[in-house]
């Protein structure tokens, strides 16, 4: 099977098509019906070298023998087949002339006042540009309004760290509202070891004072109050029992 690209032109259509060169003219006419709207018995086919040649009227040959194939007619790529409509009842431009069509038009005000339009459906169901705008597209965990009353400045504590349950030991130095992150209740802890990120100051606000890298701020639920002895970093192994 060899496919060739040719132009097909009729009184109301013009398009590029691909056909099997083994098609007979009779078979071709059947395929042209949905393209041109012309019944096979009223099709008169003429081959031209190109679409421009149709305008000049320089035809190559009339494709009148319905048993012959496109290949036998030596139809080549990008040539043009013109289909004339011989139907005595055909009226040129019957399906393409829009000059006499009655148009239904609405002003913007008339369209917006109707209740059977897409616009009215969107309004009624709050869709599209009428949908409510979400105030927060992410789900944030709630900031606790209450916390363990044992969390007071001076309390020894352990700050939970990661999923392992291990923590850092320190002393509570601040509890209350703070302008950190999304605000709310924060606990400032002075760590025993330099495992923190600052010295008690965050974004220009001083909450407590400690040595550099000994301060950390956490939510109350990250804290465990207890009798955690302060580790003596200078103690040797010989002092341990």
Give the pLDDT confidence of 16-28 residue by residue, as tens digits: 999 999 999 999 9
Look at residue 115 and tell me if it is in a domain.
no
Tens-place pLDDT, residues 23-69 = 999 999 999 999 999 999 999 999 999 999 998 888 999 999 999 99
Residue 101 lies in a domain: no
Contact 180, 219 (CB under 8 A): no
**Structure-block tokens of residue 158:** 């352990």
pTM > 0.75: yes or no? no
User: What is the model's pLDDT at position 131?
Assistant: 81
Domain membership of residue 99 (yes or no) is: no
User: Which of the listed residues 42, 65, 85 is the one where a domain comes to its end?
Assistant: 85
Residue 49 · residue 80 · CB < 8 Å: yes
Residue 97 is assigned to a structural domain of this protein: no
CATH classification at residue 217: 2.30.30.190
Output the pLDDT for position 184. 86
pLDDT at 55: 87
- Work out whether the CA dihedral 230, 236, 239, 241 comes out positive or negative: positive
pLDDT at 59: 94
Q: How far apart are CA 158 and CA 198, in angstroms?
A: 18
Cα–Cα distance, 107 to 85 (Å, whole number): 41
Residue that is last in its domain, among 85, 119, 143: 85
Quick check: is 125 in a domain?
no
| Cβ atoms < 10 Å from Cβ of 189 | 31
- CA pseudo-torsion sign 202, 204, 206, 210: positive
Domain count, the chain: 2
Give the count of beta carbons closer than 10 Å to the beta carbon of residue 25. Answer: 20
Q: Look at residue 144 and tell me if it is in a domain.
A: no
| Full domain range(s) for residue 44 | 3-85
Task: Answer yes or no: is 51 within a domain.
Answer: yes
203 within some domain: yes
Tracing tokens 């609405």 back to the chain, one arrives at: 106
Q: Which positions of the chain have pLDDT values less than 70?
A: 93-101, 133-146, 162-166, 231-241
The pLDDT of residue 18 is 94
Cα distance between residue 224 and residue 220, in whole Å: 8
């Amino acid at each position: 099977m060899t496919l060739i690209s040719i132009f097909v032109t009729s009184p109301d259509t013009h398009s590029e098509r691909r056909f099997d060169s083994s098609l007979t003219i009779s078979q071709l006419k059947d395929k042209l019906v949905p393209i041109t709207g012309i019944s096979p018995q009223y099709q008169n086919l003429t081959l031209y070298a190109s679409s421009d040649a149709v305008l000049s009227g320089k035809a190559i040959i009339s494709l009148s023998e319905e048993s012959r194939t496109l290949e036998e007619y030596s139809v080549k790529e990008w040539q043009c087949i013109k289909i004339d409509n011989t139907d005595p009842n055909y009226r040129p431009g019957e399906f393409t002339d829009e000059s006499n069509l009655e148009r239904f038009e609405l002003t913007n005000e008339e369209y917006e006042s109707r209740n059977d339009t897409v616009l009215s459906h969107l309004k009624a169901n709050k869709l599209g540009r009428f949908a409510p705008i979400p105030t927060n597209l992410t789900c944030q965990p709630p900031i606790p309004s209450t916390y363990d009353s044992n969390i007071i400045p001076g309390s020894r504590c352990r700050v939970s760290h990661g999923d392992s349950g291990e923590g850092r030991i320190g002393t509570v130095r601040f509890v209350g509202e703070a302008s950190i992150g999304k605000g709310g209740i924060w606990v400032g802890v002075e760590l025993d070891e330099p495992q923190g990120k600052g010295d008690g100051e965050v974004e220009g606000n001083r909450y407590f004072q400690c040595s550099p890298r000994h301060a950390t701020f956490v939510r109350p639920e990250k804290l465990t109050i207890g009798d955690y002895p302060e580790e003596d970093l200078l103690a040797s192994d010989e002092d341990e029992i």
